[in-house]
Structure 1
Amino acid sequence: MTDPRPAAPTVLVVMGVSGSGKSTVAALLAERLGWTFADGDDFHTADSIARMRGGHPLDDAARQPWLERIRTWIDGRLAAGENAVIACSALKRAYRRTLIDGTARVRLVFLEGSRDIIQSRVRARHGHFMPATLLDSQFAALEPPGPDEAPITVGIEESPDAIVAAVAAQLDIPADDVCG
């Protein structure tokens, strides 16, 4: 079997609004590729989580230290020669610049879906700190990645397995070369 790792380490940032399936897809993708996984939610401070749980969206100033912690994690994976996948909303171009700027080995995977589908998912999930009331703020902040950001854009209508297969196909990693 061919090694599915690219010649140089790569980090995939699986992005989209809350409820688009970032954590599920990123974890499954990392598992299938045999890459390291992290969830951007784990990089939030307790204060930020409490703020969101209370129905208050984070502003840019509150998000910046969070994005910098994620960038440090990305840089650490690349420096260690590890391929990795991280779930992170990365809603605005400025946020993505913090995560990626100057790092050609980071690729965006944009999970794109309709408000109706995402709203139904957010309402159905339990135990997550992000309430459905913040979905409007997520869509208001969303700046879909442009062609200059070379995103892998995948619709969320299919199953997580189908989404992962679509991402892997765009990475030019043969299905037989992924783990699992």
Structure 2
Amino acid sequence: MTNALDLAPPPILVMGVCGTGKTTLAKRIAEAAEGVYLDADDYHPVENVTHMAAGLPLNDAMRWGWLDQVAKVVKASQHEASFVVFACSALKFSYRERLRKGLGTMHIAHLTGPRELIAQRMAARESHYMPITLLDSQLADMEPPGPEEVPLICDISHPPEVLCAQILREWGKAPLS
């Protein structure tokens, strides 16, 4: 017997280091496709947020439970909506594998760009717990998705509306007019 979840398109993971615009883009995609937007940052335990706010990078052990929770929330959202987009750094292959373990197939839009542009964007953010001092640790941890993950590589020097249209075209959702 087929259920609604079997018919739902795979969720779209909008990934990249801090400051690449994951939240902005994922929200825009979800809105244009009349889907659900989720931000993985909303599911960090308080200890993780406190750790990062102190300028300390998370280690793998600190991420496992968080990634499991993100997968659980995305999966539950697929029961309620036909289209789910989530923003998550997902820096390492092992993190994306952990998400896939809970989700199955997912599309990956990898946001990337020059360090200088990312740092400039981070410096302009207000009231965000992630300090610019963690950018280099994120860049060091970044394992870009390889061809086996079939990612869509998105250059953040393009405006969000261009990237949104690119992602929606790639995965079969025409932008609404």
TM-score using structure 2 length: 0.91
| Cross-structure match for 1:21 | 21
Q: Distance in 2 between matches of 1:163 and 1:171?
A: 13
Who is 2:157 aligned against?
A: 157
Deviations 1:111-135 (A, max 9, x none): 1111111011111111100000000
Name the CA shift for 1:53/1:34 in 2 (closer, same or farther; >3 Å): same
Once the two structures are superposed, the pairs formed by residues 81-100 of structure 1 within 5 Å of their partners are: 82-100=82-100
Select between 117-126 and 80-89 the one with higher mean Cα deviation.
Answer: 80-89
Separation (CA, whole Å) in 2 of partners of 1:79 and 1:136: 37
| Partner SS for 1:101 | helix
Cα distance in structure 1, aligned partners of 2:142 and 2:105: 23
RMSD: 1.7
Q: Partner of 2:37: helix, strand, or coil?
A: strand
Q: Structure 1 length as normaliser, TM-score?
A: 0.89
Q: Is it true that 1:50 corresponds to 2:50 in the alignment?
A: yes
Deviation, structure 1 residue 102: 7.4
**SS of residue matched to 1:37:** strand
Which residue does 1:4 correspond to in 2?
Answer: none
User: Which residues of structure 1 form unaligned runs of 5+?
Assistant: 1-6
- Whichever residue aligns with residue 31 of structure 2, its letter is E
Is 2:145 the counterpart of 1:172? no
**Unaligned 5+ runs, structure 2:** 1-6
User: 2:4 matched to which residue of 1?
Assistant: none
Checking the alignment, whether the CA contact within 8 Å between 2:16 and 2:89 is kept in structure 1 is yes
Tell me the percent identity: 37
Matched residue type, 1:18: C
Give 4+ residue runs of structure 1 displaced > 2 Å after superposition: 7-10, 77-82, 101-105, 172-175
